[in-house]
Amino acid sequence: MENFTYAHNDTSSGERKTPTARFNVPALDEKIRSLRQSAFSRGIPTADDETLNFLITLLSAVQPENILELGSAIGISGSVMLNVCSNAHLTSIEREEGFFREASENFSALALSERVTQILGDAGEIIKTLEGGFDFIFLDCAKVQYVKYLPRLKQILKRGGILLADDVLLYGWLTGETPVPKKRKMLARHVYEYVDAVTHDNELTTTIINAGDGLALSVKK
Ligand SMILES: C[S@@+](CC[C@H](N)C(=O)[O-])C[C@H]1O[C@@H](n2cnc3c(N)ncnc32)[C@H](O)[C@@H]1O
């Protein structure tokens, strides 16, 4: 058995580590593992281990059929979601053309292209045009915009559907574990507004989860 050390707030790796991070390691297939390695080595953003593990566990139980992702990057979380939910279709939005193209290649290499609708553009504009009926939404793009997107995301989410927002504890800034750097006060305020909104919304039931960099799990009543 591994020697016990208390890992909470260990920022030596540059990442926020929760006390549970060491246990919450996702089982990923070899192709996705190597895509993640490539993303990490090139500084491309992608969900951390604990977040991905939570996503896999949750989706294994819920098995949504119509998933929306805001922020595809190179398609890693999208591919993981599709692998877990064999009957699902994914609509994934990304505004960086290079990431969009690379995600397209990755979906194709993983034989997932037929189950994905990729949309290139600004998520805020695109969600206005989507028909809706999503039973799972993974919100993982510009954090300052989360609160602005919320009213529309609620409209396009089915009753009983789940809205999962990533990175809502922002390196521990929102829980007071670490002080908010002066330059990031605006970002912290916007994310706080999102957390405040979803935890006080009569149409949602929400739990804030201390996994990864913080997740807001909201279910539409
Ligand atoms: C954290 S990364 C997504 C990681 C991906 N979900 C994963 O786990 O593999 C956030 C992505 O959102 C994209 N993004 C940021 N703001 C956006 C916006 N307003 N509209 C669409 N995409 C946006 C960024 O270009 C970036 O690729």
Return d(Cα 148, Cα 143) in angstroms, integer: 10
Give residue-wise pLDDT tens across range 10-67. 343 446 789 999 999 999 999 999 999 999 999 999 999 999 999 999 999 999 999 9
pTM of the predicted structure, to 2 decimals: 0.94
Distance from residue 94's CA to the centre of ligand 1 (Å): 6
Q: Is 93 in the pocket of ligand 1 (CB under 6 A)?
A: yes
Residue 177 included in any domain = yes
Q: Is 123 in the pocket of ligand 1 (CB under 6 A)?
A: yes
Give residue-wise pLDDT tens across range 1-11. 444 443 344 34
pLDDT (0 to 100) of residue 202 = 98
Q: Is 81 in the pocket of ligand 1 (CB under 6 A)?
A: no
DSSP H or E stretch at residue 161: strand 157-166
CATH number, position 94: 3.40.50.150
Per the structure, the count of domains in the chain is 1
Residue 21 included in any domain = no
Residue 99 included in any domain = yes
Structural domain boundaries enclosing 192: 30-220
